[in-house]
A and B are shown apart, each in its own frame.
Chain A
């Protein structure tokens, strides 16, 4: 019998919990949530949401946690044996890749926000409401946000305002407002404030001009003013209506739709391939070699490190394998996400500082490195940034890449003689003495076998196909 482990992030909601056994994730619905669960399933809300691919579908299975005496089944988290009696056990459709708002571009956060509001409106039409509104309820699946918390629904009392309004503002609306006014990526805001940035902090970060914006004034500045006063007792007697809540969710929807204007100034990295690289032949030759390498190997998933606008991610996706495409430059990730290419999951990741394990006891959300391991890793025009820009020794880069790939690595080496590499050390006094293709091959040779090595015509750059030892 395999061990049962409760998910380390599944402790907040008393309605149930997620557990894993035999590598499969299940969700227990507790007895206390039976009425809400039945409403979700019988009101037609579940069917509506799953039909439109807004909510993760599940099947009901027999109880697993309490099926056998605790002694016969090792239980890793001690309180599992003391869990409330199950009402149902659900087997949700399994997701292969998880990502978090701390890794999403602003458009991904925007779409997750719009999904939350759409679900809230549909829920209200079926006599239910969302009792929480956090990006952790959402995962990206086939390029689209999908609501994964089946137990977030509660019975709707039209006389009450939305219990999750403040959480929605802090987790979605405020990061998007800061993005809109300051042109910074929302992933950094979500990383710093995983439970949402408070109205007080947002009000201080927004420029004066935002006070002239009715939406910002109502949801940020007014909320900050009202929230700072102690009026909790008076709130018990507030009378509300469905029409009022509908007008608020529609207002939020229109604000969020306008929250991600296209970046006015291109970032240093967008259009890197289309504009800044001189010579079309280089790119054509690189693509040609890349395609040849792909034909020589087999892989079921891929990870593109430093994907830029995703040119090579798109070539990888043509093979049908799912691709995680990462770059530290969020406007590039925004462009790639907007291109809506099937099979590509774009994420804002700085490889010199990838997402750490986070949440309580560092256990709720796994580190990027743990989630991203793939059959094939590609790192094109990247190593010189890590080695020369971030001063990371080549052997450490090789060690990290061997952690990320399960088998193959396609990697480009750009020597110091190259203009782009030269720019990186132009203001550094001593050029790195340990940076040339011999040193590169020695460093990577420790963890990888070099299968192919080809110069890219017209440049001093080299492309390699390697296999993990």
Chain B
């Protein structure tokens, strides 16, 4: 098997930053979901907009 040299440099730290961003975005998703659940306790009976 031949190994091709990478023709663009992903950049130092660019993989790590994507890991952090994905974690933050994932966290934000869970917080939003959690927040919606809490809100639904107080708005029970009303339809979600």
Contact = CB atoms under 8 A, between A and B. Distances in A.
A163 B26 contact: no
Given A14-B5, A14-B7, A226-B20, A247 B14 contact: no
B31 interface: no
A245 B8 contact: no
B12 A227 contact: yes
Q: What is the interface of chain B mostly: helix, strand, loop, or mixed? A: helix
Interface in A197-229: 218-219, 222-223, 226-229
Contact of B10 (A166, A231, A251): A166
Given A14-B4, A165-B11, A238-B15, 4 more contacts: A161-B14, A164-B8, A165-B14, A247-B25
A248 interface: yes
A280 interface: no
Contacts of B15: 160-161, 235, 238, 240
Interface residues of A, number: 35
Contacts of A13: 7
Contacts of A406: none
30 contacts: A14-B4, A14-B7, A131-B8, A132-B8, A161-B10, A161-B18, A161-B19, A163-B8, A163-B10, A164-B8, A164-B10, A165-B11, A218-B21, A219-B21, A222-B17, A222-B20, A222-B21, A226-B20, A227-B12, A227-B17, A231-B16, A234-B16, A235-B15, A235-B16, A240-B15, A240-B22, A244-B18, A248-B18, A248-B21, A248-B22
A50 interface: no
Interface residues of B, number: 23
B7 A131 contact: yes
Interface in B1-43: 2, 4-8, 10-22, 24-26, 29
Contacts of B4: 14, 32
Contact of A232 (B12, B17, B19, B22): B12
A172 to B, nearest CB: 15
Interface in A1-54: 12-15, 32
Nearest to A232: B12
A116 interface: no
Interface string A112-155: 00000000000000000001100000000000000000000000
B31 to A, nearest CB: 12
B33 to A, nearest CB: 14
A247 B13 contact: no
A230 B12 CA distance: 7
Given A13-B7, A131-B8, A164-B8, A32 B13 contact: no
Contacts of B29: 247
B13 A226 contact: yes
Contacts of A238: 15-16, 19
Given A32-B4, A247-B26, A165 B12 contact: no
Contact of B2 (A32, A227, A231): A32
B24 to A, nearest CB: 6
A227 B13 contact: yes
A167 interface: yes
Nearest to B18: A161
A337 interface: no
Contacts of B13: 223, 226-229, 231-232, 235
A135 to B, nearest CB: 14
B14 A166 contact: yes
Given A32-B4, A164-B8, A167-B8, A226 B17 contact: yes
Nearest to A229: B13
Residue among B12, B21, B22, B25 facing the most chain A CB atoms (10 A cut-off):
B21
A100 interface: no
Given A226-B16, A235-B15, A132 B7 contact: yes
Contacts of A247: 22, 25-26, 29
A162 interface: yes
Contacts of B11: 165-167, 227
Contacts of B14: 161, 165-166, 223, 227
A13 B6 CA distance: 9
